[in-house]
Amino acid sequence: DWIDVGDVIRAAMERCARYFPQLAVEVSVAPDLPLMQGDSVLLGQVLFNLLDNAAKYAAGEPVRIFARTEGGEIVISVTDAGKGIAPGDLDKVFEKFFRPGTPDGRPPGTGLGLSIARGFVDAMGGSIRAESPASRRRGTRMVLRFPIPSGAAMTGEPPA
C-beta atoms surrounding 145 within 10 Å:
18
Asked whether position 53 contacts ligand ATP by CB under 6 A, the answer is: yes
Asked whether position 87 contacts ligand ATP by CB under 6 A, the answer is: no
Sheet of strand 140-147, all strands in order from the earlier edge strand to the far edge: 25-29, 63-70, 73-80, 140-147, 127-131
Taking CB under 5 A as the criterion, which residues in 28-57 touch Mg ion?
53
Site size for ligand ATP (CB under 6 A): 21
Stretch that binds ligand ATP, among 11-19, 35-43, 111-119, 150-158 (CB under 6 A): 111-119
Nearer to ligand ATP, 35 or 142 (CB): 142
- β strands within the chain, DSSP E: 2-3, 25-29, 36-37, 63-70, 73-80, 127-131, 140-147
The residues of the shown chain that bind ligand ATP, judged by CB under 6 A, are: 53-54, 57-58, 80, 82-85, 93, 98-100, 109-115, 140
